[in-house]
Amino acid sequence: MIQLQQPQYGYTPVDPELAQKRMSQFLQVMERWETLSWKSITNIVTVGVWDKREKKSLFDLIIQQSNSGKSPYEIKNLDYRIRDAVSASFHIAEKLGGSSGIASMVFDVESSYEDYRFCNPDLLIMNIDEGSFARVSGPPRKGKTNTACVSIERWIEQDNLCFTNIYLKKKVDHITYVNDARGLLTQIANTDEPFLFVYDEGQASGYSTQTATSLESRYTDNLFRVIGKMKGNVEYIDQIEMKCPNVIKEWAMTRIIIGEEKGTIFVDLKDPNKYQRTIKNFPQTYLPFVTRDIASFDMNVNVERMFQLVSGKPDEAKDIMLAFLATDESIPEKRKKKKEVIK
């Protein structure tokens, strides 16, 4: 008679469904890599990495990089390293602890989500002052424009001006609709008040990092670079955040990523108000924006020439801008050639 070896004390055979559930949970968390904070990464390593040397090495890296001001997603290949360490740890956990070991590998970042109802309502505009950049990105139809509109709400409630190519069903005080550079610059030249320019669907409007050296994409970059000198700020909205203009990508002190779950956003604030957390129960805006409108923005002004003319004349700058916008010289060279061909 063959006797079966009894399992060691505290060891129970692994339930395949439990192992599958834990791995699936881990993969779902890693799918949201760009929204994970250092706190979430620390928790993943704590419960998911069983190799002691690798765990210590990762903890040392977390301590070093979290103090550098970088986000986890900015650390090259860190996500692949964690995937490798955790997948290998499933086998170690199974060998050493059976089902108990696998059961301890709980990848639950949702429990650390903050509820927006308990957040400072001005969270999204805390880092917007003068010459500031913010960016909103995320999947299609998941609430990017709604999120930007909530930030506009807080901005205008402080009696500030907003210019945007987000189309509203009715007029709202302190918000002006602009869908081209000429309209935007005309508004800027006619005010001395601080303003926020919210630019929706940048790539749909023709901006692309792949054509960033093209004339009009270059004009867009230059416009954003100097808008702070006119008491302005820019909030840029698009699906893929890494394809936004370089000046926004490099210097945005406010970064918002829309989550897959309804009402969930990831907020990453740099200096001066550091904050990095995923938030749930994000509200719907009261601004009556048209969800089916295709936002566009026409870069129809030679901004490089305009800035040359106002350089060295700060007291006359806005008068010069208005006069320049009324001339044919303000039309980009490429468009002048098209007009001549048509004639």
Q: CA dihedral in degrees (197, 203, 209, 215; nearest 10)?
A: -80
Q: Tens of pLDDT along 192-226?
A: 999 999 999 765 555 555 444 467 778 888 889 88
Q: Are strands 265-269 and 254-258 parallel, antiparallel or unpaired?
A: antiparallel
What is the band of 228 on the pLDDT scale with cuts at 50, 70, 90? Answer: confident
Q: CA-to-CA distance for 128 and 100, rounded, in angstroms?
A: 49
What is the per-residue pLDDT for 206? Answer: 52
Highest mean pLDDT out of 20-34, 93-107, 141-155, 271-285: 141-155
Structure tokens belonging to residue 287: 């601004």
Please compute the mean of the pLDDT values over residues 125-137 and round it to a whole number: 93
- The more confidently predicted of residues 103 and 154 is 154
What is the band of 288 on the pLDDT scale with cuts at 50, 70, 90? Answer: very high
Please compute the mean of the pLDDT values over residues 213-242 and round it to a whole number: 83
Please compute the mean of the pLDDT values over residues 291-307 and round it to a whole number: 87
What is the per-residue pLDDT for 153? Answer: 97
Residue 333 has pLDDT above 80, yes or no: no
Distance (Å) of CA 32 to CA 37, 41, 49, 248, 258: 10, 12, 19, 22, 10
> Average per-residue pLDDT in the chain?
84
> Is the N-terminal amide bond of 194 cis, ω within 30° of 0?
no
Q: Tens of pLDDT along 154-195?
A: 999 999 999 999 999 999 999 999 999 999 999 999 999 999
Structure tokens belonging to residue 178: 């602009």
- Strand residue runs (E) in 144-230: 161-164, 175-177, 195-200
Q: Tens of pLDDT along 317-327?
A: 999 999 999 99
Lowest mean pLDDT among 84-98, 137-151, 162-176, 226-240: 84-98
